[in-house]
Amino acid sequence: MDFKGKVAVITGAASGIGRGVAIEMAKLGADIVTADLDDKNLESACKEIKSLGRRALLVHCDVSKDADVENLAKQTFASMGKCDILMNNAGTAVRGPVEHLTVANWEWLVQINFLGVIRGVRAFLPYMLQRGSGYIINTGSGAGFNATEPPGLFESNIPYAATKFGLVGLSEGLFGYLRPKGIAVSVLCPGFVATNLSANVHFVGDDEKEFQLKPEDIQKEKEALFSSPDVETPEGVAKILIKGMNEDRFLIFTHAGMVKSFKEERGQDFGKLEQHLQKKFPK
């Protein structure tokens, strides 16, 4: 895929995977629309993109709000004139015993992880359909295929896995619908990646009161994650994503071990799924 002159819109672009992908695509010649709630880090990302000789647009955007995502599209077309690549990357998590989750807890998560993606598709897909081209990337997770890992921890991640399973289903449907129309769809499926996701997680304790993790606890979790031999960097994930896009992949996993374990433990053969989908829905 030739990224030169392309315009990529990336939500959750202030840090982590979103920022890593934004920088990598800019290095390959794309102009980037960065969207996030963290304006300070967005400014830093845009500065880095511009230092690479590419255009960068900062848009404050809460993907849980219709008006914000509609404004993202409006500003994109007004400033950049087009959208070639849409990466619905913004996401978060709710952790805690499922029996203590309120409907409000579920709604908060679904508004971001699932409906946030739908809002992005609604805002940009009509333009792509009119052009007959485009690329939609939805950031899923290994948890979107296996809701019972890792042992001892999955119980607190049930809501997160539920939204990611839904995202995979949505993306597969979009793949079948849009591929014959000239629009590609991929799901990025990260394993352990060194990001600051934990800083935005909502926790539900035994007292059923939602609370944010303390800064020192966030730092401890990050240190434990970053020291893991299985952890990938956002920059590494960006390169894996680009490679998967160039290979016309629907499912793009960041860790080869994930694919192997899914096949051995659950009988999921993603290679066959890729072949089936591409044969069933030719370009």
- Any idea which residues carry the catalytic annotation? 160
- Contacts of residue 215, Cβ cutoff 8 Å, sequence gap at least 6: none
Residues 274, 250: contact at Cβ < 8 Å?
A: yes
> How far, in Å, CA of 23 to CA of 238, rounded?
9
- Residue 11: CB atoms within 10 A of its CB come to 30
